[in-house]
A and B are shown apart, each in its own frame.
Chain A
């Protein structure tokens, strides 16, 4: 077990609202990193834009605080350029399931070895409380006084169908469990999505701490066979009275970055580029 304070940015403290679920995620991730003894300089975290993405200010690794909805493409570029890095995304539900939903599905089908953690507070936090793609149908908001008309996006089933090779759900309030889940997701080689229940105490008055505590239950590893795709798809759709947390699905498959790596023996970011010969190309045009 490494030192968890290695991952703190000195002289800073998160500006999340007191009681925000992001604190739990932040602690769990640092614990997970310390557990894995992750080298900060060999880790690249790409964040989206939201309260969730602001985490970029308070984690001491290489970070790219990107655009709303675009952290998954950025992370894929990082991974392809240097597959020796551990590449991790932290983004919001608006980020990942709204603005950037297409990117999520395409990254899943590529099975590129990055790990995506979605801080799913079922609300747009940073823009002060609009419904998000995972807000429940019928919930009322300032900007949806008649209630949300559309059904929520089902991220985990979508990711499974698209080809994600690791799918899990965590809850900010189950901190030790979350920390272990984070370790498993990062260790998994291939595309991993972990949706994390994250109460927003300021703007989401539906999915509160109490609501979450009343609904989540931990998947029993002896009962749930995480290698069974059909079972995983069924569990992924269990978001009613009971919401399972844990590893829903896991499978080993060749990754997108491995395919590229087999093409290019060198790590792209480190390949020497002095004196590249293009005379042979020119000869083909003569």
Chain B
């Protein structure tokens, strides 16, 4: 820690409110002008197990976690055992000797003993309040503003009534008072609020929900599955306000088929799941493709085939999402890399689904979906709804052909209720009117029609973003949630080594931006970075741009890249 940054980590067992801590602690610093990245690691258990929240705070723009921790708050002995090595030399272990009764094995750290349990017991509060007392103690330790923590507590618990807010504020105050009395000197000079932009504290999932609501999503079916289950919570609490029907279906098969039905009837529709649920949805995805129904599908990736690591992160579903379903049809596949992109690309996904009349898949992962980030409010002026060739009452031509083989592949669409627009949305191969057909030329014509949308879409989209030095001989390449770690690692390279690299972020995987990728990578030393074992984006680049990466940096142990770790790994190959 210097007086412009802090890396803080709290650990304890599940069931003791570690999860709520991350958002509150982040918000206390975001309100104070700081940038924050707060990620959680926890096993797939409800009680017990080792849960952590790590909050990286910085006056500069940051986007990803780093490993070395300045202050470790241990709510149990296990945290001391497992996380003590994360502490930097001179870092602080804040713990309660009564509940974490282990002798810390390091001598190069500062021990800060706070009787957290006693403090909350004295206030006659339940044991879970120790995490709030620990936040208060941490704020005291660095001499930060307690009022900002209280404001974040108010935001988090306000809905539960004044009494709950007061109890939590009193727990925070007790921790704060104890520490400022016992350790009056702020740790390493302390951390004070700064003048920074007003920022939101939010996760990728929150941003996806906002994007979907802004886009006029009216129907969503979600069967709970980590890490997209919090989309369900978010939408449920705003469903009435925004006039959305959210259904918890009996399974993901029902969910996607309901969404296809709702879309056929004219409502903007979405499903959200993870790989296992998406596996069940595959036939329904094909139904949307064959009947040319708009649909937005969010796949929050997690590691492994089958159940895998339910609460960890990975980018292993890219190829699966590109190819899921039998037969030929075009789908859009895109991967936002931060909350801004989660918001704007989800909004755009609904427009693309309508404009192209086909499914649009949005890939996130546990890291992006559930990490708290700081983001400036999204500029929504200029976001326009595009429903594509959706015909209203009175606009239907006399000789209406729902599946007319147009040059763009997109044909005018009606929905039930519109007079003169009757058609069969037929999952069988069909002719331009939707009538079943096995006639060879008709079949080929209609398959071509569907697939032509690839080129129509490609003309609409850039599909890449290029960050950093355009003349750099070495270009980093990645997609999705690794964006944050890559940009932060580039900042380290610039600051520590004076090296300015370029970063090609592939935003759309279908249609693949072949030409742009080629232009950016041809003749460069290419360093591919992915959170999977198969280097799936790398294989796409080979396929579409005939370029092989010179170096490949992969991580596939269920964890996201830390920016400092990635910095070291990039340096190894430079």
Q: A63-B425, A106-B250, A285-B200 given as contacts; is B210 within 8 A of A74 (CB)? A: no
Partner of A73, one of B201, B261, B378: B261
Q: Is B247 an interface residue (CB 8 A)?
A: yes
Partner of B424, one of A57, A264, A265: A57
Q: Is B242 an interface residue (CB 8 A)?
A: yes
Partner of B238, one of A43, A78, A85, A281: A281
For A64, list chain B residues within 8 Å (CB).
260-261, 264, 291, 424-425
Within 8 A of B (CB), among A69-98: 70, 73-82, 84-85
For B210, list chain A residues within 8 Å (CB).
278, 281-282
For A263, list chain B residues within 8 Å (CB).
239-240, 243, 245
Q: Is B43 an interface residue (CB 8 A)?
A: no
Q: Which of A17-25, A197-205, A268-276 forms contacts with chain B? A: A268-276
Q: Is B14 an interface residue (CB 8 A)?
A: no
Q: Is B539 an interface residue (CB 8 A)?
A: no
Q: CA separation between A56 and B291, bound complex, in Å?
A: 14
Closest to A62 in B: B416
Contact check, A281 vs B258: say whether CB atoms are below 8 A apart: no
Q: Is A167 an interface residue (CB 8 A)?
A: no
Contact check, A63 vs B417: say whether CB atoms are below 8 A apart: no
Q: Is A255 an interface residue (CB 8 A)?
A: no
Question: By CB atoms of chain B within 10 A, which of A79, A82, A84 has the most?
Answer: A82
Closest to A270 in B: B266
Interchain nearest-CB distance for A46 vs B (Å): 7
Q: Is B423 an interface residue (CB 8 A)?
A: yes
Q: CA separation between A103 and B206, bound complex, in Å?
A: 30
Contact check, B417 vs A73: say whether CB atoms are below 8 A apart: no
Contact check, B201 vs A78: say whether CB atoms are below 8 A apart: no
Contact check, B257 vs A67: say whether CB atoms are below 8 A apart: yes
Q: Which of B101-109, B119-127, B212-220 forms contacts with chain A? A: B212-220
Contact check, B219 vs A80: say whether CB atoms are below 8 A apart: yes
Interchain nearest-CB distance for A59 vs B (Å): 9
Q: Is A49 an interface residue (CB 8 A)?
A: yes
Partner of A67, one of B214, B243, B287: B287
For A77, list chain B residues within 8 Å (CB).
219, 221, 257-265, 269
For B214, list chain A residues within 8 Å (CB).
276, 278
Q: Is B202 an interface residue (CB 8 A)?
A: yes
Contact check, B258 vs A60: say whether CB atoms are below 8 A apart: no
Contact check, A85 vs B287: say whether CB atoms are below 8 A apart: no
For B243, list chain A residues within 8 Å (CB).
263-266, 268, 271
Q: Is A260 an interface residue (CB 8 A)?
A: yes
Q: CA separation between A82 and B417, bound complex, in Å?
A: 9
Within 8 A of B (CB), among A229-286: 260, 263-266, 268-271, 273-274, 276, 278-279, 281-282, 284-286
For B202, list chain A residues within 8 Å (CB).
285
For A57, list chain B residues within 8 Å (CB).
424, 435-436
Q: CA separation between A82 and B261, bound complex, in Å?
A: 10
Contact check, B416 vs A65: say whether CB atoms are below 8 A apart: no
Closest to A15 in B: B436
Q: A67-B283, A67-B287, A81-B262 given as contacts; is B422 within 8 A of A274 (CB)? A: no
For A63, list chain B residues within 8 Å (CB).
423-426, 434
Q: Is B267 an interface residue (CB 8 A)?
A: yes
Q: Is B268 an interface residue (CB 8 A)?
A: yes
Contact check, A269 vs B265: say whether CB atoms are below 8 A apart: yes
Q: Is B385 an interface residue (CB 8 A)?
A: yes
For B548, list chain A residues within 8 Å (CB).
none
Closest to A74 in B: B261
For B268, list chain A residues within 8 Å (CB).
273
For B245, list chain A residues within 8 Å (CB).
80-81, 260, 263-264, 268
Closest to B206 in A: A285
Proximity bits, B172-207, A CB within 8 Å = 1, else 0: 000000000000000000000000001111100010
Q: Is B421 an interface residue (CB 8 A)?
A: yes
Q: CA separation between A63 and B213, bound complex, in Å?
A: 29
Contact check, B424 vs A85: say whether CB atoms are below 8 A apart: no
Partner of A70, one of B238, B244, B257: B257
Question: By CB atoms of chain A within 10 A, which of B265, B291, B418 has the most?
Answer: B265
For A75, list chain B residues within 8 Å (CB).
261
Proximity bits, B418-441, A CB within 8 Å = 1, else 0: 111111111110000011100000
Q: Is A41 an interface residue (CB 8 A)?
A: yes
For A282, list chain B residues within 8 Å (CB).
200, 210, 377-378
Q: A78-B416, A81-B219 given as contacts; is B242 within 8 A of A276 (CB)? A: yes
Q: Is A40 an interface residue (CB 8 A)?
A: yes
Interchain nearest-CB distance for B208 vs A (Å): 12
Within 8 A of A (CB), among B364-405: 377-378, 380, 385
Q: Is A187 an interface residue (CB 8 A)?
A: no
Q: Is A175 an interface residue (CB 8 A)?
A: no
Q: Is A61 an interface residue (CB 8 A)?
A: yes
Q: CA separation between A143 and B67, bound complex, in Å?
A: 61
Partner of B416, one of A43, A264, A284: A43
Q: Is A44 an interface residue (CB 8 A)?
A: yes
Contact check, A278 vs B380: say whether CB atoms are below 8 A apart: yes
Interface residues of B (CB under 8 A from A): 31, 155, 198-202, 206, 210, 213-216, 218-219, 221, 238-240, 242-245, 247, 249-251, 253-255, 257-269, 283-284, 287, 291, 377-378, 380, 385, 415-428, 434-436
26 sampled A-B residue pairs with Cβ under 8 A: A40-B422, A42-B417, A43-B416, A57-B436, A62-B423, A63-B424, A63-B425, A63-B426, A63-B434, A70-B254, A73-B258, A74-B257, A77-B259, A77-B260, A80-B245, A80-B258, A81-B245, A102-B250, A264-B245, A276-B213, A276-B242, A278-B213, A278-B378, A278-B380, A279-B377, A285-B206
Interface residues of A (CB under 8 A from B): 9, 12, 40-44, 46, 49, 54, 56-57, 60-67, 70, 73-82, 84-85, 102-103, 106, 260, 263-266, 268-271, 273-274, 276, 278-279, 281-282, 284-286
Of all A-B residue pairs in the complex, the 4 with the closest CB atoms, nearest first, are A273-B216, A77-B261, A269-B266, A285-B200
Q: Besides the contacts A44-B416, A80-B261, A273-B216, what 4 more A-B pairs have beta carbons closer than 8 Å?
A: A76-B254, A77-B261, A276-B242, A282-B377
